[in-house]
Structure 1
Amino acid sequence: MKKRFLVSAVSVLTLTSLVASACSDGNSKSEPTKAPANNAGGQATETEKPLDKVTFTYFNGAGAAKDINTNETTIGKMLEDQTGVNFKIENLVGDLNTKIGTMIASNKYPDVMIPDAAIDEVLGAGAFIDLTDLIEQHGPNIKRVYGPYFNQMKAEDGKIYFLPFSNVVGEYVPDPNINQGAFWVQRRVLKEAGYPQIKTLDEYFNLIRDYASKHSGEDLTGFVSLTHDWRFFATSNPPMHLEGFPNDGEVIVDMNTFEAKTYSAADSTKRWLSELNKLNAEGLFDKASFVDNYDQYLAKLSSGKVIGFFDYGWQIANAQNVLKDAAKADPAKDDFVYFPLPVTFDGQKDQYLDPPGFVKNRGMGITVSAKDPERIIKYLDNLLTEENQTLKSWGIVGETYEVDANGRYYRTAEQIKKIDEAFREKFGFKYYDWNWPQYGTNSTLANGNAFAPGLQPEVFQMDLTDADKVILDKYGAQTYAEMFAAPDDRPWFPAWGIPKEQGSAPQIYETKKTEIVKKYFPKLVLAKPAEFEGIWNEYLGEFGKLDTADYEAFVTTEVKKLIEAAK
C-alpha cells in the first residue's frame, strides 16, 4: 500500500521548510502577492484581456455568511481586475432540500452553485454541465491542480461535473488546530475545575453538571446540539467518534476486515441518546436544539451562555472567531472561548483527526443556466494560479503577511490583530476561504510554505494569545492537535464521500434512514426517562424495515475498491 505523507502535529511546530513537489505548469511559481498597484495577484491564463465586465450568480448551499458581490471585497476586486468577472453570492437561508427542489422544479439555476449535501439531487436532475472539454481547452491550472484526481472525479459516464475542494497539492501538512470533530467546553469550566484530564463521556458531562450546579443563577445552557437541515449529522455522528472512529459518515469501517457497518441503530447510538435524555431530564439540554436553525445555533454559541456541545471546528468557526476576537480585545473574555476535547465512551483511542483523504462528492459546478461557461471556467482557472492561491489564502505581502530572508511566510502581531472577523469579510478571506476550487487546506505552495496560514508553524505560534498558551501548557501541549490521537491511515477515507447515484438503492437507503433518524431522535432525547426504552424499541422497528445489509455490502465493496486503488 502506498505510504501517505503525514507529519505529526508536533513536527509542524519545528519544521522550518517543506519541500513541495514540482509542478508541471508554467503558472506554478509562488511569488509573494503584492497590492494591485504593484502588479498584484497573478496572471490570467489567457493572453487576451476581457473587454467587458460581467456578473455571474453563485449559490452556496454550505454558506453561513451575508450575500455579497465578490468585487465588494479586496480579493474579489483584484480578481475582477484580472478577469472582468464578478460573482453575486447567495448563501443558503432556510432548508437546503426545499431550495434545491425549487430550482429543479423550475429548471432555473444560478450560473454556478455548491449544492453541498443535495449534490446527488442536482446531478440527478442534469443541472450541471460536463466540464471535461472546458477544462481541456481553458484549464491549464485546473489540470495542474486536479490532474492526479481526475479519475476519481469522473462520474460513471466518464464526465466531470464539478470541482471538489479537498485535493492536496504539494505535500500534506497536518492542522495544529481542531477543525474536525470534538466535544467543546468553555475554557472557564476547565479553569475552575483545575484543568482536569477529560477523556470519557461521563467525565465530560459531569464537568458540565458540576459547573452548571455551581452557577445555577447565571441562566446557563448545559449542552446544545445542532440539528438544522443537512447539518443534523452534528447530532447523529457522535456515536461513531465516541467508539473511537473517524468521520466516515453513515458507517464505521473495521480496520482489520474493512467491513462497513451502520451505527444509527447500534448500542453506541442508544447509549449516546440515553445520555442526552438524562441531560434533558436534568434541565441541562437545550430543547430548542431540535427547532433552532443554524444561525440561531451560532448565536447561542457566541452568547457566552452555552457550556458545551459536540461539533466540527469548521462548522462553528464563525461563532468561535467572534469569541476569539472579543478575547483579543478583552483578555477576560477568553473564559468564553471553547476548548476541544477528544472524548470517547470509555477513554479508548480517539480518531477525531481526519487522515489524508479526497472528498469527491462535494464541490462547485457550472449549471445548465450559465450564461457563459467558458468565461466562468477561465475565471476558476485563473483563481488556481499559484499567485492567486497565495492571494486568497495569505493576502497581500506587506499588508496581511510578510516574507523573511529565507522565503518563509509569516504574520506580524499587528497583522494578526488586524485580521479579525470584520476584516476577513471586507478583505475577502471569509468568502474565498473554502467554497471555491482551490488547493486543499493541507497543501503546500511550490516554495514550501503552507498553503493555509493557520498551518504555517510561524503563524500558528504567533496567533496564540497568552491565554491560549496557558491552557495548552496546562495540558502539556503546544498545539491543540497534540491533545488528540494521530489519525490512522485509511486509504478509503472518507466513506461518506463515496458517490451514490440519485435513485440508486444506497441513495434511497440514506434518504429513508435520515427521515427515521430525524423523526425519532427528538422523541428519544426529550422523552421522560421511563419512556426511553419503549421509544427506542419503536425506533428499532422502523429502522428494521430498511435493507441495511444491502447498504453495508455496497459501502464495503466500494471501500475495498478504494483500498486496492491505493496499493
Structure 2
Amino acid sequence: MAKNKWWSIGLALALTGSLIAGCSKATDKTESKPSDSASAPASASASASAEQSQKPLDKVTFTYFNGVAGKKDRNTNETTIGKALEDQTGVNFKMEFLVGDLNTKIGTFIASNEYPDVLVPDAAIDKVIDAGGFIDLAPYIEKYPNLKRVYGPYLKQMTSSDGKIYILPFSTVVGDFVPDPNINQGAFWVQRRVLKEAGYPKIKTLDEYFKLVEDYVNKHKDENLTGFLTLTHDWRFFATSNPPMHLQGYPNDGNVIVDMNTHEAKTYAGTDATKQWLQKLNELNAKGLFDKASFVDNYDQYIAKLASHKVVGFFDYGWQINNAQLNLQDAAKKDPAQDDFVYFPLPVTFDGGKDQYLDPPGFVKNRGLGVTVSAKDPDRIMAFFDTLLKEDNQIMKSWGIKGETYEVDDKGRFYRTKEEITKIDEAFREQFGFKYFDWDWPMYNTNSTLADGNALAPALQPEVFQMNLTDKDKEILGKYGVQTYSEMFSPPDPRPWYPAWGIPKEQGSPQQIWETKKDEVTKKYFPKIVLASPDKFESEWQAYLKEFGKLDTAGYEKWYTEQIKGILDSLK
C-alpha cells in the first residue's frame, strides 16, 4: 500500500512535518475563530482554564500506542510540551511506539480485546474498526468546542458508513493552506557532494540520475560507497513499489494513477512502467551499485545507513527519511564540511517531463487516532484533546515558547533567531516535545494558518525557512536558481479526490483483499526480479505477471473509478 504519513502530510518533520492528502474540502477556510486567545503561552506551564484552576483535576496517566516506529517510548510529561499540557489538564500519556511487525502487534490487541487507551494503528486502522476496537467519537466532537471547531468542516468525510466517527484524522486544515517550501513528499535524493562534483547538473530523467550515481561511485571506489538502496520493510514497502507512479508524472495516489481528463483509475503494478523501474534496479544490482540488503533491512537499519555517509542515492518520501536527514543537517550546521552528506531532492521522471511529486491540498480519511473500548475515561481523554486544540497550545506544540524558541516582531509575525534555530537540534526536539507532538495527535494540519495569519508550522513561515537555511543551503539552491526546495518541482495540479489511497475500504471487501494479495505478490517477486542475473530478468518478470494476473484488477480499477467520479459529482 502507499502511505503518505504524511503523512505526511509528516511531515512529522524538520521543525514541522508535512503530510499529507485528499478531498477538496481541505482547501476550505475554517471561518470559526479559536475559542481561546491566539497568543502563545508565556511559559511552558501554560495556565489552565479558569474553570480548571477553580477545581483542580486529579492527575491521571493514560496509555498511548503508535503503530509507527522511530521514536523512543516516553511519558508526555517528560517533555516540556507534555508537562505544560499536564499542568493544564492533569493528563499524562505513557507513549509506546511500534517495534516489530505492525499487523502482529495490532492482531495481539484484537485477539485479547485489550487495547491501550489511545491507539494510532496507522495502516491497520480498518482492522481495529472492523474488530470494534474504537468507540464512537461523534458525541464528544459535538460536546467540546475546539474539537467541533477543528473537525466540524470535515464531519461528513470522517463519518463511517454506520454513521459513527472512529478516528480523529491529522489532515484537517484550519485557516488557509500554506504550501511547504521543503520536500516532505517523494523525491529521488542524492548526496550534495555528488551534485557539486558534477558541476550542479540539471537532472530530470531516471537515466540521468542513475548515471550521476554510477559515475560518482566509480570515481570513489576506495570509499566503499553504496550507489542506491530502497526501503522494503513491512508496510513501508511502498517506497519501493511507488516510484513507477511518480516516474510517469503522477502524485502519490497509492495503487492507482488517475487520468486527469477521464478520471479513470488504473493500476500500474503490472505495467511497462513498473517493469522499466525494476529493470533499472536489476541493472544497478548487476553493476554492484544496488544494496542487496534493501530487501531484508528493517526501517532502523535503513535510516542508519542513510546517516552513515555511505549511501549516494535513494528514492523515498521526505517525512520518512526525516530522522536521518535531520541528523545530517544538525552535523552540517556545526561543521559546514559535513554538508556534503546532506541529501538533495530531485524531481526525476522517465522522460524528463512534468513531475507531480508535490501534494495538492487534500484530506486523508483512513489514518488517524482513536480512543479504544479499553479506555478508562474517554471523556477525560477527549477533554485533553480539546485543550490540545486550543490555538495557544497548537502554537506551543509547533513554535514552542515565546522568548525561548521563537519571537514576535512589531507586525505580529512569528520568527526564530539564528541562536534559536541552532539550539533546536534533534536532541532538543525530543526533549522539548516537538518530535512527539509534530504528528499523530489531534492537530491543525501542518499546512494550516493561525488566526493572525502566521503559519502554524515554523518551517512553512517564509521568515523562518530563509533564516533556517545555512550558507551551504543557499549556495546549492542558488546553483539551481531557486530559493526553496519546492521550486525545483512542478506545482501540483488540483485533484479533488486526493489522495486516492485515502478513500476508505471496508475490511474484507474485494478492494481490501486485492491490496493485500497485491502486496503479497510484489513482496515475493520484486526481490527475485531485482536480484536476478540480467539474463533471468524477463523470466522472473513473466512469473510475476502470471501471479499478478490472477488478481481481479479490473474490478479494483472499476471500484476506484466509481469512487473518484462520485467525489467529483458531489462537488458539482
Output the TM-score relative to the length of structure 1: 0.94
Q: How does 1:286-297 map to 2 (within 5 A)?
A: 286-297=291-302
SS at match of 1:179: coil
Which of 165, 173, 186 is equivalent to 1:168?
173
CA distance, structure 2, for counterparts of residue 45 and residue 542 of structure 1: 63
Which of 197, 213, 220 is equivalent to 1:215?
220
Contact 1:21 1:446 in 2 (8 A): no
Alignment match, 1:560 = 565
Which of 77, 80, 85 is equivalent to 2:86?
80
CA 1:47–1:359 in 2, change beyond 3 Å: closer, same or farther? Answer: farther
SS at match of 1:145: helix
Alignment match, 2:472 = 467
SS at match of 1:537: helix
Which of 126, 135, 138 is equivalent to 1:132?
138
**1:25 Cα deviation (Å)?**
4.9
SS at match of 2:257: strand
Which of 444, 454, 463 is equivalent to 1:458?
463
What amino acid does structure 2 have at the position aligned with 1:417? Answer: T
Query: In the alignment, does 2:43 pair up with 1:35?
Result: yes
Deviations 1:480-538, CA, capped at 9 Å, x for gaps: 00000000000000000000000111011110111001100111111111111001111
Query: In the alignment, does 2:70 pair up with 1:64?
Result: yes
Alignment match, 2:370 = 365
Contact 2:85 2:91 in 1 (8 A): yes
CA distance, structure 1, for counterparts of residue 481 and residue 363 of structure 2: 32
CA distance, structure 1, for counterparts of residue 210 and residue 458 of structure 2: 34
Contact 2:232 2:239 in 1 (8 A): yes
Query: In the alignment, does 2:32 pair up with 1:24?
Result: yes
Deviations 1:354-386, CA, capped at 9 Å, x for gaps: 000000100000011111100000001110000
Deviations 1:439-479, CA, capped at 9 Å, x for gaps: 00110000100000000000000000000000000000000
What amino acid does structure 2 have at the position aligned with 1:565? Answer: S
Which of 182, 191, 211 is equivalent to 1:177?
182
CA distance, structure 1, for counterparts of residue 408 and residue 33 of structure 2: 24
What amino acid does structure 2 have at the position aligned with 1:216? Answer: K
CA 1:26–1:187 in 2, change beyond 3 Å: closer, same or farther? Answer: closer
**1:41 Cα deviation (Å)?**
6.3
CA 1:215–1:151 in 2, change beyond 3 Å: closer, same or farther? Answer: same
**1:181 Cα deviation (Å)?**
0.2
What amino acid does structure 1 have at the position aligned with 2:481? Answer: G
Contact 2:44 2:81 in 1 (8 A): no
5+ long unaligned stretches in structure 2: 1-27
CA 1:560–1:22 in 2, change beyond 3 Å: closer, same or farther? Answer: closer
SS at match of 1:109: coil
SS at match of 2:363: coil
CA distance, structure 2, for counterparts of residue 329 and residue 543 of structure 1: 50
Contact 1:239 1:269 in 2 (8 A): yes
Alignment match, 1:54 = 60
**1:563 Cα deviation (Å)?**
1.4
Deviations 1:106-148, CA, capped at 9 Å, x for gaps: 11111001110111111111111111112222x2101100111
CA distance, structure 2, for counterparts of residue 287 and residue 521 of structure 1: 12
What amino acid does structure 2 have at the position aligned with 1:496? Answer: W
CA distance, structure 2, for counterparts of residue 424 and residue 148 of structure 1: 31
**1:22 Cα deviation (Å)?**
6.5
Alignment match, 1:93 = 99
Query: In the alignment, does 2:192 pair up with 1:187?
Result: yes
CA distance, structure 2, for counterparts of residue 455 and residue 41 of structure 1: 28
Alignment match, 1:14 = none
Contact 1:208 1:307 in 2 (8 A): yes
What amino acid does structure 1 have at the position aligned with 2:390? Answer: T
Contact 2:34 2:146 in 1 (8 A): no
Deviations 1:140-182, CA, capped at 9 Å, x for gaps: 1011001111000000011100000011100011000000000
Query: In the alignment, does 2:116 pair up with 1:110?
Result: yes
CA distance, structure 2, for counterparts of residue 407 and residue 469 of structure 1: 26
CA distance, structure 1, for counterparts of residue 490 and residue 59 of structure 2: 50
CA distance, structure 1, for counterparts of residue 515 and residue 56 of structure 2: 45
SS at match of 1:27: coil
Contact 1:224 1:309 in 2 (8 A): yes
Alignment match, 1:448 = 453
**1:566 Cα deviation (Å)?**
2.8
CA distance, structure 1, for counterparts of residue 552 and residue 47 of structure 2: 53
Deviations 1:69-108, CA, capped at 9 Å, x for gaps: 0000000000000000000111111111111111111111
Q: How does 1:128-527 map to 2 (within 5 A)?
A: 128-137=134-143, 139-527=144-532
**1:353 Cα deviation (Å)?**
0.2
CA 1:404–1:21 in 2, change beyond 3 Å: closer, same or farther? Answer: farther
Q: Kindly, what percent of the aligned residue pairs are identical?
A: 72
Contact 1:45 1:381 in 2 (8 A): no
C-alpha RMSD over aligned residues? 1.3
5+ long unaligned stretches in structure 1: 1-19
SS at match of 1:90: strand
Alignment match, 2:555 = 550
Contact 1:25 1:141 in 2 (8 A): no
Contact 2:81 2:433 in 1 (8 A): yes
What amino acid does structure 2 have at the position aligned with 1:187? Answer: R
Contact 2:173 2:447 in 1 (8 A): yes
Contact 2:65 2:119 in 1 (8 A): yes
SS at match of 1:368: coil
Output the TM-score relative to the length of structure 2: 0.94
What amino acid does structure 1 have at the position aligned with 2:224? Answer: D
What amino acid does structure 2 have at the position aligned with 1:33? Answer: P
CA distance, structure 2, for counterparts of residue 262 and residue 433 of structure 1: 33
